[in-house]
Amino acid sequence: MAAIKSKNKRLDRANTPNPLQSLTAAALLLPGVMLGVAQAADEDEFTFQYGRYEESHRNLGDVKSQFDPISVDSLQAGSKISLTDRVKFAFNYIQDTWSGATPISTSPIAHPASSERQGNRALKINNTIVGASPYVQTALPVYFDKQFNPVRIINDTGTDADGNPVVEYSKVNELAHTMALASPETRKEGNFKLGYEWDEAAVDVGGGISIEKDYESRFGNIGGRLDFNQKLTSLTGGISYTNSDTSARFDHDVLSVPGVYGTYIDTSHYTNDIEKTSDGYGNLMTGNRQDWAANLGLTQILYKDALVKFGAGYTRSTGYMANPYKAVTVFFIDTDPNVFDAENADYFGYVNQPYTGQIQPFLEQRPNVRDQWNFSTGYVQYINPLDAALHVDYRFFHDDWGIDAHTFEADWVQPLGTGWTVTPRLRYYTQDAADFYTPYLISKQALRSSKLDAEGNPQFDDDNELIKAPYDASKLPAHFSSDHRLSGYGALSGGLVLTKQFAKGLTLEAGFEYYNHKGSFKLGSGGEGDYADFSYYTANAALKVNLESVGRAMSGGGHDHHAMHHNHGAPLPAGVMFGHVMTTPGDIMVGYRYMYSRQDGRMLHENELAADQDIVSNGCNLEPGLTCRTSPAFMNMHMHMLDIMYAPTSWLNLMVMPQFMDMDMNMRALSGVNPVPSSTTDDHLHGGHETGGVGDTGLYAMFKLFQDEGHDVNMGLGVTAPTGSVDIKLRRMHKVGNATDNGFIHYGMQLGSGTWDFKPSVTYTGKVSDWSWGAQVSGTKRLEDRNQSGFAFGDQLQSTAWGSYSVFNWLSASVRGIYTVQGAVKGEFTALPGNCAVNHSLNTTEACADVNPKGGSMDNPKNYGGRYWDVGFGLNATIPSGSLAGNTFSVEWLQPVEDDVNGYQLERNGTLNATWSYGF
Amino acid sequence: MKLLLIILPLAVSFTGCAVAPWERGNLAKPQMALDPHPLQTELSGHSHGSREAAGAGGSTSGGGCGCY
């Protein structure tokens, strides 16, 4: 294989595209390229993908959820490189941030929305219904007929011929989800794969870690491929192991007191798995899960235009597999006519007395073992007249939870010429419900009943109150879940992928998929009702740079040009942007920038340490009389930027720079505040906040102003478009019986500026032998006074100067000084009317004109901006030769030297800049 | 496993219809790759996996939850 490959390279290098030779070479390469698990590591490439997922609103009957449905922003960056001809290495970084409303439980709509309906109770602000609030618990019972169907009471004032009271009711068929809001949360995953290839075999090992605030997963895998039968047949196999920990932080509402009336969600089944959080503000649900999986695959070339594949897999999962945020509504019905208990038997004495169902939601309970089997087959057919390929796939899934699922997929890959390919895709999925799936449960016992003594008489406590006994947990089923993912349904989805391959190994891809989940789409009967139907779409854009093809090109004639291009300028510290103009028309550069900055520890007032009492009194005085209750404990910001630059002429470069942000922070209670901030006050002390997603998008033009022997002056003019959200809100706190509203999350946690911003810069760079230096002045001018949320960040001016020395021809080190001035936030968040806590207590709320939080120092616009001095230490490496020639990596650490902040702010710890760029 | 027992002899029976290297031009085309759009597959696979009961069972790579 190695010999064949190098022959192929020679063909490329010779730059004599003899079609026959190329075809033969490609064909000789084929089996390794096309078949087997190692296929993924075959071409050296860099990939970057952004994806957006948006779900439809759920049908909640006569109310509408006030929350936006779930949406997800996904980011993926990865690379595959050949360490040697036979050793391949691939790594990926994946990041998802999601927020929005998701179902927490299901219940019959037995009461009109405006009353104490279980499920989504109408939410009123100033007597106007503004939506439905998530409310899984209610005081009102639901009534059931003798067949245990839920009923709605129509009239209870009638009598029969004998004058006995009669209640008139009708069966309720409608169900509805209760939608709860998931505050923004980010998952980050890193994974790698290392492979070794022989001529007719390959092995690889891989592993990775995925981290969320409430879920951490570590995994490893090993796989192999064996080609035989003149590479017409390939056998693949692999095993993997995954170990995952749940540590879900429960809302303060979710407390476990079995059988006690008013318990919001009963968690008593998990008492041993729930512990107090270290900050004492909440409860942590912990669990561990392990997955072992094995699979075998076979690919067979049938003839010159078709191949077929088969696969089989087995997965065994053990441990905690439930979702800690899903509850099941249980109706407790006391069917014993001999026990009179007002709580459990309304309409007592009516001739047709319905059963009274007392409502208690429980955390869902799933089995702790799951065995899963998969069988799949696929067929790929080349369609000669159209130069297209048809892919047809089928997969059968079976598990011991009672779920059988079938997946049918068809793709038509149609090349259109000039590098374009369009692929329509169609998919149908259908599954049975799990054995323990139920929209809601009925338990034929009282939620709590009068405790009777030996003679059958009720017992009373010292205060002459009836002593109540809780339900008998052993009468509940061992497993139950209302998660729609375990219900019976079908899903039909379709989409399109559009790919354009440019010269020089650059490929752009865009895709769209619409997905429709319906109970009635289930194969056979028995699908879930239409209340659970929903749809979503995903849209994505990807960029792929084939490093190998460029590398090959460079090892021939292109290399000199390339080397010259990259070494003509001085290396720039990683934190400096807009310092380099490409001078060869037609050149393209793709880069990736990552920035991480952290604030932690002490609070500053201007350039001195601030005492808590000072912050309390003076940090939040946005309005007279306001005092601070909390201040930030730490804040992390991560920024990922894709950097695409093109040189239409020798003096002008155009640049597009999409940005992706994710941030997390926590707060601490300031001392000497009354009432003391806690989980039952409106201070959001419940484990921190996260936000993330698309940031602002930069569009720049760069001009070469001056160039002389060793000296360059460039000017950059650009704008950032306000593509980042500035309206991210905190989660509503749905304490039982009350519902405080929460306004915008503070300014620094929003993802963009919300305004169009002008970004000019002027850069000078100089170079003599191994020494280089430079200076830059750059600014940010907000072009609008206010964004859609009512504020604008302050303008910014930065000046910087650096010196750099080339230690080797591929490595240089830099030192840099930076001075930054930024103004405070102008304006403030638009007032949002709603329900506010009275005296900060979540137990009492009242209508108010503005629910935006004002008790944290970071909620005050005056506490933004300042004057900052930093020193940067950087390294810059450019790979001079080999298949990865032309790649530049640089890192820089910015160490704060002095902060002089506006108002009261957290001290900065530093900033890390890391960049990769590749010109071709 | 049972399926494989059926498949393997089936595969061996295909060995008669050999495809010479110079006849493999069409099979080498990108549209004939087992997965012509791996990035797309990964993203939609993640969406399907977070919404379907059978989603997670298909791969041996492992991975996170992302249980939104």
pLDDT tens-place string over residues B18-36: 788 888 889 989 999 999 9
Residue A632 has pLDDT above 70, yes or no: yes
pLDDT of residue A824: 96
CA-nearest of A700, A822, A695, A821 to A759 is A700
What are the chain B neighbours of A182 within 8 Å (beta carbons)?
68
Residue A173 has pLDDT above 80, yes or no: yes
Token match 């439930």: residue? A322
Within-domain flag for A905: yes
Mean pLDDT of all residues in A403-417: 96
Crossing angle of helices A2-14 and A19-34, rounded to 10°: 140
| Distance between first and last Cα of chain B | 34
Beta strands in A610-651 (DSSP E): 630-646
Token match 């997670």: residue? B56
What average pLDDT is seen over chain A? Answer: 85
Counted residue by residue, chain A has a size of: 920
Q: Count Cβ atoms below 10 Å from residue A303 Cβ, excluding itself.
A: 15
Evaluate the CA torsion angle A893, A897, A900, A904 in order and state its sign. Answer: positive
Residue A698 has pLDDT above 90, yes or no: yes
Contacts for A533 with CB less than 8 Å, ≥ 6 apart: A59, A516, A517, A518, A519
Based on DSSP, count helices (H) and strands (E) in chain A, helices before strands: 5, 47
Within-domain flag for A356: no
Phi-psi region of A347 (alpha: psi -120 to 50; beta: other; left: phi over 0): left
pLDDT of residue A134: 55
A13: pLDDT confidence band, cut at 50, 70 and 90?
A: very low
CATH code, A824: 2.40.128.130
A68: pLDDT confidence band, cut at 50, 70 and 90?
A: confident
Rounded Cα distance, A654 and A716, in Å: 10
A437 to chain B nearest CA, in Å? 12
CA-nearest of A293, A145, A131, A113 to A219 is A293
Q: Count Cβ atoms below 10 Å from residue A398 Cβ, excluding itself.
A: 17
Q: At B63, is the secondary structure helix, strand, or coil? A: coil
User: Could B39 and A187 be called an inter-chain contact, meaning their C-beta atoms sit closer than 8 Å?
Assistant: no
What are the chain B neighbours of A395 within 8 Å (beta carbons)?
54, 58
A64 to chain B nearest CA, in Å? 20
Rounded Cα distance, A640 and A47, in Å: 14
User: Could B37 and A24 be called an inter-chain contact, meaning their C-beta atoms sit closer than 8 Å?
Assistant: no
Within-domain flag for A706: yes
Share of chain A above pLDDT 70, in %: 85
User: Could A403 and B53 be called an inter-chain contact, meaning their C-beta atoms sit closer than 8 Å?
Assistant: yes
Q: Count Cβ atoms below 10 Å from residue A847 Cβ, excluding itself.
A: 14
pLDDT of residue A556: 38
Residue A567 has pLDDT above 60, yes or no: no
Rounded Cα distance, A907 and A900, in Å: 10
Rounded Cα distance, A716 and A698, in Å: 12
Mean pLDDT of all residues in A436-458: 83
- CB of A725 within 8 A of CB of A741? no
Contacts for A260 with CB less than 8 Å, ≥ 6 apart: A448, A470
Rounded Cα distance, A689 and A731, in Å: 10
> pLDDT for A279-312, tens place per residue?
666 678 889 999 999 999 999 999 999 999 999 9
Q: Token pair for residue A237?
A: 């196999």
B34 to chain A nearest CA, in Å? 7
Within-domain flag for A346: no
Interface probe, candidates B40, B41, B42, B50, chain A, greatest A C-beta count within 10 A: B40
What is the count of structural domains for chain A?
Answer: 2
Q: Count Cβ atoms below 10 Å from residue A674 Cβ, excluding itself.
A: 9
What are the chain B neighbours of A544 within 8 Å (beta carbons)?
39
Residue type, A394: Y
Residue A363 CA: distances (Å) to CA of A180, A251, A604, A673, A708 = 14, 13, 44, 35, 72
Q: Token pair for residue A543?
A: 């960029």
Contacts for A796 with CB less than 8 Å, ≥ 6 apart: A779, A780, A820, A821, A822, A823, A865
Max intra-chain CA distance, chain B: 50
Within-domain flag for A857: yes
Q: Range with the lowest mean pLDDT among A503-517, A728-742, A790-804? A: A728-742
DSSP H or E stretch at residue A239: strand A233-250
> pLDDT for A461-480, tens place per residue?
787 777 777 888 899 999 99
A276: pLDDT confidence band, cut at 50, 70 and 90?
A: confident
> pLDDT for A646-679, tens place per residue?
999 999 999 999 999 999 999 999 998 988 887 6
Q: At A335, is the secondary structure helix, strand, or coil? A: coil
Within-domain flag for A735: yes
A805: pLDDT confidence band, cut at 50, 70 and 90?
A: very high
Q: Can you give the residue range of the structural domain that contains A7?
A: 1-34
Strands A327-333 and A440-443 turn out to be parallel
Token match 């993802």: residue? A751
pLDDT of residue B18: 75
A206: pLDDT confidence band, cut at 50, 70 and 90?
A: very high
In chain A, the residue whose alpha carbon lies closest to the alpha carbon of B14 is A302
Q: Does B5 touch chain A (CB under 8 A)?
A: no
Q: Range with the lowest mean pLDDT among A185-189, A533-537, A750-754? A: A185-189
- CB of A631 within 8 A of CB of A903? no
In chain B, the residue whose alpha carbon lies closest to the alpha carbon of A300 is B11
Q: Calculate the dihedral angle through the C-alpha atoms of A607, A611, A613, A616, rounding to the nearest 10 degrees.
A: 50
Mean pLDDT of all residues in A72-91: 91
Within-domain flag for A61: no
Asked whether the whole model's pTM tops 0.95, one would answer no
pLDDT of residue A877: 93
pLDDT of residue A282: 67
| Minimal Cβ distance to B3: which of A51, A241, A312 | A312
Rounded Cα distance, A684 and A670, in Å: 13
Residue B68 has pLDDT above 60, yes or no: no
CA-nearest of A31, A229, A1 to B18 is A229
Rounded Cα distance, A467 and A462, in Å: 10
Rounded Cα distance, A884 and A271, in Å: 55
Mean pLDDT of all residues in A408-423: 95
The DSSP secondary structure of A690-754, one letter per residue, reads EEEEE--EEEEEEEEEEEETTEEEEEEEEEEE--S-S--BPPPB--TT--B---BPPGGGSSS-S
Q: Range with the lowest mean pLDDT among A67-81, A547-561, A630-644, A682-696? A: A547-561
What are the chain A neighbours of B19 within 8 Å (beta carbons)?
232, 301, 303-304
Rounded Cα distance, A802 and A812, in Å: 13
In chain B, the residue whose alpha carbon lies closest to the alpha carbon of A372 is B57
> A559, exposed or middle or buried, with CB in 10 Å at 0-12, 13-18, 19+?
middle
HSE of A621 in the Cβ direction (CA atoms, 13 Å)?
10
A762: pLDDT confidence band, cut at 50, 70 and 90?
A: very high
The DSSP secondary structure of A137-156, one letter per residue, reads --SS-EEE-TT--EEEEEEE
| A to B CB pairs, distance under 8 Å | 245
Backbone angles phi, psi at A377, to 5 degrees: -150, 150
Rounded Cα distance, A897 and A870, in Å: 5
More confident residue, A718 or B43: A718
More confident residue, A175 or A257: A175
HSE of B46 in the Cβ direction (CA atoms, 13 Å)?
27
Within-domain flag for A490: no
Residue A375 CA: distances (Å) to CA of A290, A315, A691 = 22, 12, 39
Residue type, A638: H
A774: pLDDT confidence band, cut at 50, 70 and 90?
A: very high
